[in-house]
Amino acid sequence: MKTLTLKNKFQTNVTLVANDFIDNYMIQANGEFVKVYLFLLRHLDDPCSSLTIPMIADCLNNTEKDILRAFRYWKSEGLLTLEKDEEGRITGVELEKAASIATAREDAPEATPPPVSSANVSQKIQTVPLMPAVDTHTATAIPLTSFKAQKELKSLLFIAEQYLGKTLSRTDVDSITYFYQDLKMSADLIEYLIESCVENGHKSIHYIQKVALSWTDSNITSVEQARQSSSAYNKNCYTVLNAFGIKNRGPAPAELEFIKKWTEEFGFSLDIIQEACRRTIASTHQPSFEYADTILTKWNAGQVHHLQDIAALDEAFQKEKSSHKSVGSKQKPVAKNLNNFERRAYDMESLEEQLLNSNLKEHSCGT
């Protein structure tokens, strides 16, 4: 039998990824972190490779902070070590062999993880299950040292990344931790908070935090209460904007403050607010929240609760106006008659005689 001659035309320029990485690490990691890890694998055995953190960020269309965050994450997972100089700058990255963790996880599913804090939670952001384990019956804060709190918070961070469409910054992580720990919001309520804000076109964490504080002030502790509040908010805004003839936009922040003042602080029903808007348009011929606010402030001081109360105020105002007119008419000054004065009587013959005598005296003195 003849000896076989083997020829290799297979492309050897490949990157090998361990199955253990795919089975136990990749599934639960953030996609951007996986991209960084695969990029490192790609250049691991490339003798011509000369990488810097800015170069990696440019190649992956990320920021340098995103790259550093990925480094810290994989270091925490035990898949790489970082070499640093005396000033703390990263000078080298060494990839470690992926240790099998599936068995360890199955043997100790309830093992208590290290405490979460704003300092380290960003590094552990993606070691999370895809679905949150939430307690829908209570808003009581769970200690962050508990396994349940760790699980819920990590899930929230993962979900937030999906809604916001970006890797969370330290500010984002701190804010979500604040909602959970300090505001005592349940995990499902925080998820609904982020979802509703994003659906309304607001991805800013500062806007989301403002809504969270508003819900806390309104004692909203469940998703159902939040839905009802959002429904009322949309109805109130639509009604006021429609009364002003404003279409195809939502209320501006200053306008929203006026609407909240009228509905929450004053407690006016929508029909009363609509009447104020109607009178504003009739007087100014344009939408003016400031003018409407002066009307509603007077009505609030006048204890208006129904439309009938407005009619009573209008009637009282007309009576007061009429009384002022009648009093003013009685006090008008009477014009004086210029011809009403004592006439003097003159004797014309006596005046002529006096004038003649005077002329004779002047003539005699001259001669």
What is the C-alpha separation between 128 and 162, in angstroms, rounded? 13
Is residue 266 situated within a structural domain?
yes
Q: Which range has the top average pLDDT, 21-35, 59-73, 268-282, 313-327?
A: 268-282
Statement to judge: residues 176 and 140 lie in one domain = yes
The answer to the question of residue 81 being in a domain is: yes
The strand ranges marked E within 87-148 are: 90-95
Q: How confident is the model at residue 124 (pLDDT cuts 50, 70, 90)?
A: very low
Residues 243 and 206 in one domain: no
**Percent of the chain's residues with pLDDT above 70:** 70
pLDDT of residue 9: 58
Residues 140 and 176 in one domain: yes
In this predicted structure, what is the pLDDT of residue 364? 60
Q: What is the structure's pLDDT at 126? A: 31
Looking up residue 56, the CATH number of its domain turns out to be 1.10.10.10
pLDDT in tens, 287-340: 999 999 999 999 999 899 888 889 888 888 888 878 776 665 555 555 555 555
pLDDT, residue 289, reads: 94
| Confidence at residue 290, expressed as pLDDT on a 0 to 100 scale | 94
- What is the domain count for the chain? 3
State both tokens at 260.
């909240």
At residue 7, the pLDDT reads 59
Q: Which domain holds residue 58?
A: 19-101
Last residue of a domain, one of 221, 243, 264: 221
Residue 363 lies in a domain: no
Q: Check residues 354 and 51 and name the one with the higher pLDDT.
A: 51
SS3 at position 95: strand
Does residue 8 belong to any structural domain of this protein? no
Q: Are residues 175 and 238 in the same domain?
A: no
Mean pLDDT for the chain overall: 76
Residue 250 lies in a domain: yes
Considering only residues 318 and 1, tell me which one the structure prediction assigns the higher pLDDT: 318
Q: Are residues 132 and 215 both part of a single domain? A: yes
29-43 average pLDDT score: 86
Residues 217 and 294 reside in one and the same domain: no
Question: pLDDT above 90 covers what percent of the chain?
Answer: 17
**Range from 57-66, 123-132, 169-178, 235-244 carrying the lowest mean pLDDT:** 123-132
Please enumerate in sequence order all residues whose Cβ is within 8 A of that of 208, keeping only pairs 6 or more positions apart, or say none.
175, 193, 194, 197, 202
Query: For the residues 269-290, what does the mean pLDDT come to?
Result: 93
Same domain membership, residue 245 and residue 197:
no
Question: Tokens standing for 86?
Answer: 């005396």
Residue 306 maps to a domain: yes
201 and 272 assigned to the same domain: no
pLDDT at position 100 over 60:
no
Whole-prediction pTM value? 0.37
Say which amino acid occupies 350: S
Length reported for the chain: 367
Q: The domain spanning residue 192 has which CATH number?
A: 1.10.10
Residue 189 predicted with pLDDT over 90: yes
